[in-house]
Amino acid sequence: MARTRYFSLDEYRRRWAGAGAEMVRRGYDVALVWGKSTFTYERSMDVLYLTNFFSSLSGQEPDSSAWNARGFACVILRLGLEPEIVHGDVNPRPERLATANQHDHMDPIAALAETLKGYGVSGRVAFVGADTLPVKYARQLEAATPEIEYVFEDDLVAKVRRIKSAAELELFREGAEIADAALIALIETMIAGKSEAEAATAAITELFARGAYVQRIAIAHGETTNFLESTPMHGFSTDVPKPGDLFHADLLGPPLEGYWLDPARTAVVGAKPTPEQRSLIEDCNRIMTEGIEANVKAGVRIRDVAEATRSLRDELGGDFSEFDANWPQFGHSNGNMWEAPFISLVACDESEVFEENMVFGGETFLTREGVGTAEVENNWIVTKDGIELLTHTPLEWW
């Protein structure tokens, strides 16, 4: 029988208390927390964290005379009270929810407005998820609740989520074992000379057999290694690599319960790299292990690690690439997505430090003309003395 919730109600009460304390710190009595899942994981983050709600709808359905804003959900946080969730699912699976207070409605915007009016809510209200709720629906809500001043506080719950509980850390460890098995199966299939699609199938088989999930599998080989994936729409192609082709693979997404892991590796088809390929992969791995991981522990300034990593990368040498343009960073915090703080010289506040029981992905990309691009990423827990490695897929495959 499938379990109803991974986490205990005490774990959710801890989260609610943390969100309430952050509301008090920012001066709010009420906060609205928005999310969207509907088969698309990445914007379910805060709602999932607070209530364990994940929509069973098939997508953000176009509005009709029967429904409006389907697929969106809002958690109402009021100080001292159990959260409420307003959503558009007719069958909300109440046994899975962490809160008994839920409203299912074909128009969650209208239902939310009526609920807020019923409570007499007015004045300043924290609006968490301005980057999630479309303008159309936000304007509907504003028009229906003119007595409320909505103030964007998109990081309110994210601040609470960044330090992981003991239960969350155990889930990360469990998820990492599954992700390792999937990534190993993928790499072994590619090394054997099978197609990218067959390699993705091998990974998916490991994940699904363990009741796990992934948002995306990104594979590229040969001439496409300078990009994250060979086929942008799907992440992988049906192409069969040639012996000696460089390839990299990245598992992106939540293996378990919406908690994000994204390990990546680079190898060579046939496991017989040229000296240039071997140097590229070894140097890429060194940047991650010696530049990032060796310098991390609780209390260390994140920007200092980014500077040390950049210095090592410059010393080893590499060409500017598509990866550098899209992801000017050496890693990121992991939670219910990849998120701030970032190990970066341009995307990190000067004051940000690593804190004990944060979870991170440390990553790097290295491009050399005539050789290709290597990428590598590990996931780990920050400890007072260093890191606890979560990802144990081998770094080298020869």
pLDDT digits (tens, 9 = 90+) for 332-347: 999 988 899 999 999 9
Longest dimension (CA), the chain: 70
Q: pLDDT for 269-294, tens place per residue? A: 999 999 999 999 999 999 999 999 99
- 275-286 helix and 302-316 helix, angle to the nearest 10 degrees: 160
CA–CA distance, 114 with 12 (Å, rounded to integer): 26
Indicate the DSSP class of residue 289.
Answer: I
Under 8 Å CB-to-CB from 232, ≥6 apart: which residues?
Answer: none
Coil, helix or strand for 194? coil
Indicate the DSSP class of residue 280.
Answer: H
Question: Is the pLDDT at 25 greater than 70, yes or no?
Answer: yes
Amino acid at 79: L
Amino acid at 182: A
Q: What is the pLDDT of residue 61?
A: 81
- pTM equals 0.94
The separation between the first and the last C-alpha atoms of the chain, rounded to the nearest angstrom, is 42
Average pLDDT, the chain: 94
- As a whole number, mean pLDDT of residues 372-396 equals 98
Q: Which two tokens stand for residue 165?
A: 């509980």
Residue 330 backbone zone (phi > 0: left; psi -120 to 50: alpha; other: beta): alpha
Helical segments of 235-373, H only: 275-286, 302-316, 322-326
**Given pLDDT bands bounded at 50, 70 and 90, which one contains residue 3?**
low
Cα–Cα distance list, 164 to 130, 225, 270 (Å): 24, 34, 40
- As a whole number, mean pLDDT of residues 244-261 equals 94
Question: Is the pLDDT at 174 greater than 80, yes or no?
Answer: yes
* 195, 239 Cβ separation under 8 angstroms: yes
* 271, 398 Cβ separation under 8 angstroms: yes
Sketch out the chain's domains with CATH numbers.
9-161 (3.40.350.10), 166-389 (3.90.230.10)
Q: pLDDT for 116-128, tens place per residue? A: 999 999 999 999 9
Q: What is the pLDDT of residue 156?
A: 97
